[in-house]
């Protein structure tokens, strides 16, 4: 009897405040460049006065490469969150050499995670309803707002007829999507899975909501540092092409890394506070799936939001799981560069972690001031650090206590 199917990563794509593709994103994080800047959020004539927050927003024109290749028939009708997903999916499928391949129609799944869906379209629609008191809403509002708008756009653009659905678990949404996509391959329901996620909730109404729970930093994102005061909102998306390893090798596809397995837990505890037990259990499961504790070095891409609570809990969880392991574990926290993409974060961090393993460099945590005695982990600061790790651990811990940890390996 053979073991479970091995899962190769054969393509990836990314859009964020750091750039319009995966290579630009990697260059920026490796060099310690940030996409975070102070932004004014202006909600229009029915809104209160604009507020200013640090945020990492994607530059205009990020969809240029997609639209030059595929036209605008599908992309032009999308909310920003779905457009991020579609752009990243095109880059990933193009890299995998699968655009136009018959496998897309026959044996492919699309699973993308989003915390919220078409927030910009919702706010514009509600401005008409509650502000202008108009009963007539834009006819595209519902399809733009629905959280499955992204996966439907990817399926329509590339002709995917297999299992297609969205996952939603706040900040862990795209991590759940990656695990579900891998599972569809391992269960035989698909041979290829287009997985990842995106988010575009840096909108005036949404930012006021995030302000209300005191989650947003007033200065910038400083994961694991003393003086950290919260997360910074980002936006964008990232997509990976997962593929049955034997199939990928047989067709000579680029092997960019391997998905080894994951842990998924629920704290069942509090809607915003993390739990040491829940997060540790997810990390422990992922470490077992990827045999991480016996490695000499493991690159840890932390959830690392820069909130006081998350980083202290995450450091404790990592130390609890790795107690007794001799593995060096350099910790990176790239939300300090691209902000928090909520549903898109885990996928973007996966794209970055796989490039870090390939380059043998751990990108620095930015904006770090001083070590925090409450977060005793080996934080990579200053500049990119040379690493020999062939394995990565990646955490995504969501509001509501929904935890996913994933284990990846560099391409053999």
What is the closest distance, in whole angstroms, from the C-beta atom of residue 73 to another protein in the complex?
5
73 counts as binding another protein under rule CB under 8 A: yes
Q: Which residue number, 35 or 150, has a Cβ lying nearer to another protein?
A: 150
Place of tokens 């964020």: 16
Q: Which residue number, 141 or 207, has a Cβ lying nearer to another protein?
A: 141
Q: CA 123, CA 125: separation in Å to the nearest integer?
A: 5
Q: Which residue number, 157 or 307, has a Cβ lying nearer to another protein?
A: 157
Query: How deeply is 294 buried, as exposed, middle or buried, from its count of CB atoms within 10 A (0-12, 13-18, 19+)?
Result: exposed
Q: CA 384, CA 330: separation in Å to the nearest integer?
A: 11
Query: Any catalytic annotation for residue 171?
Result: yes
133 counts as binding another protein under rule CB under 8 A: no
- DSSP letter string, 120-183: HHHHHHHIIIIIS--S---TTHHHHHSTTHHHHHHHHHHT--S-EEEE--GGGHHHHHHHHHHH
Choosing from 1, 135, 136, 324, the residue that interacts with another protein (CB under 8 A) is: 136
Q: CA 35, CA 14: separation in Å to the nearest integer?
A: 14
72 counts as binding another protein under rule CB under 8 A: yes
Q: What is the DSSP letter of 75?
A: G
Query: How deeply is 329 buried, as exposed, middle or buried, from its count of CB atoms within 10 A (0-12, 13-18, 19+)?
Result: buried
Binding mask 26-65 for another protein (x = CB under 8 A): ----------------------------------------
3-class SS of residue 16: strand
Where does this chain touch another protein (CB under 8 A) — which range of 135-143, 226-234, 275-283, 369-377? Answer: 135-143
Where does this chain touch another protein (CB under 8 A) — which range of 70-78, 106-114, 256-264, 355-363? Answer: 70-78
Query: Any catalytic annotation for residue 138?
Result: no
139 counts as binding another protein under rule CB under 8 A: yes
- Beta strands, E only, 122-256: 164-167, 192-199, 233-234, 236-244
In degrees to the nearest 10, what's the CA dihedral of 234, 183, 268, 227?
Answer: -30
Where does this chain touch another protein (CB under 8 A) — which range of 48-56, 114-122, 132-140, 157-165? Answer: 132-140
If we measure between CA atoms, which residue out of 396, 408, 411 comes closest to residue 359?
411
Q: What element of type H or E holds 15? A: strand 7-15
Max Cα-Cα span within the chain: 66
What is the closest distance, in whole angstroms, from the C-beta atom of residue 60 to another protein in the complex?
18
C-alpha 196, offset from chain centre: 7
Query: Any catalytic annotation for residue 303?
Result: yes
Q: Which residue number, 138 or 161, has a Cβ lying nearer to another protein?
A: 138
The catalytically annotated residue of 338, 340, 375, 391 is 340
Choosing from 140, 208, 276, 411, the residue that interacts with another protein (CB under 8 A) is: 140
Bridge partner residues of 167 (DSSP): 113
What is the closest distance, in whole angstroms, from the C-beta atom of residue 74 to another protein in the complex?
8
76 counts as binding another protein under rule CB under 8 A: yes
Place of tokens 């091995």: 6
Is the separation of the CB atoms in 286 and 407 below 8 Å?
A: yes
Q: What is the DSSP letter of 132?
A: S
Q: Which residue number, 140 or 320, has a Cβ lying nearer to another protein?
A: 140
Binding mask 77-116 for another protein (x = CB under 8 A): x---------------------------------------
Task: For the segment 141-160, give every residue that binds another protein (CB under 8 A).
Answer: 143
What is the closest distance, in whole angstroms, from the C-beta atom of residue 142 to another protein in the complex?
10
Residues near another protein (CB under 8 A) are 72-73, 76-77, 136, 138-140, 143
Catalytic positions are: 171, 303, 340
């Amino acid at each position: 009897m053979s073991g479970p199917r091995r899962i190769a990563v054969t393509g990836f794509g990314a859009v964020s405040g750091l750039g319009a593709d995966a290579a630009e994103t990697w260059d920026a994080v490796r060099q310690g460049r940030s996409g975070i800047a102070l932004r004014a959020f202006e909600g229009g004539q029915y809104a209160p006065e604009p507020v200013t927050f640090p945020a990492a927003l994607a530059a205009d024109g990020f969809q240029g490469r997609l639209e030059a290749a595929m036209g605008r028939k599908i992309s032009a009708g999308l909310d920003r969150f779905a457009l991020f997903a579609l752009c990243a999916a095109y880059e990933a499928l193009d890299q995998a050499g699968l655009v136009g391949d018959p496998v897309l129609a026959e044996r492919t799944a699309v699973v993308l995670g989003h915390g919220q869906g078409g927030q910009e379209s919702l706010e514009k629609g509600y401005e008409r309803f509650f502000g202008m008191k108009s009963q007539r809403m834009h006819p595209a509002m519902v399809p733009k707002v629905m959280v499955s708008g992204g996966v439907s756009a990817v399926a329509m653009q590339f002709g995917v007829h297999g299992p297609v659905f969205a996952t939603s678990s706040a900040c862990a949404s795209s991590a759940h999507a990656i695990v579900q996509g891998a599972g569809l391959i391992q269960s035989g329901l698909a041979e290829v899975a287009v997985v990842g996620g995106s988010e575009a909730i840096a909108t005036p109404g949404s930012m006021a909501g995030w302000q209300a729970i005191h989650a947003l930093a007033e200065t910038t994102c400083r994961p694991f540092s003393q003086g950290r005061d919260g997360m910074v909102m980002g936006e964008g998306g990232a997509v990976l092409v997962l593929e049955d390893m034997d199939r990928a090798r047989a067709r000579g596809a680029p092997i960019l890394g391997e998905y080894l397995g994951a842990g998924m837990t629920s704290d069942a505890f509090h809607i915003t506070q993390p739990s040491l037990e829940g997060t540790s259990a997810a990390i422990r499961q992922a470490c077992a799936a990827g045999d991480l504790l016996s490695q000499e070095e493991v690159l840890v891409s932390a959830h690392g939001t820069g909130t006081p609570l998350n980083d202290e809990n995450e450091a404790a969880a990592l130390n609890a799981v790795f107690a007794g392991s001799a593995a060096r574990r350099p910790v990176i926290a790239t939300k300090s560069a691209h902000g928090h993409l909520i549903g898109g974060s885990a996928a973007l961090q996966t794209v970055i972690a796989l490039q870090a393993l390939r380059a043998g460099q751990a990108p620095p945590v930015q904006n770090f001031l001083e070590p925090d005695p409450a977060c005793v982990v080996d934080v990579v600061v200053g500049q990119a650090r040379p690493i020999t790790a062939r394995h990565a651990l990646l955490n995504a811990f969501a509001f509501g206590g929904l935890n996913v940890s994933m284990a990846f390996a560099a391409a053999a």
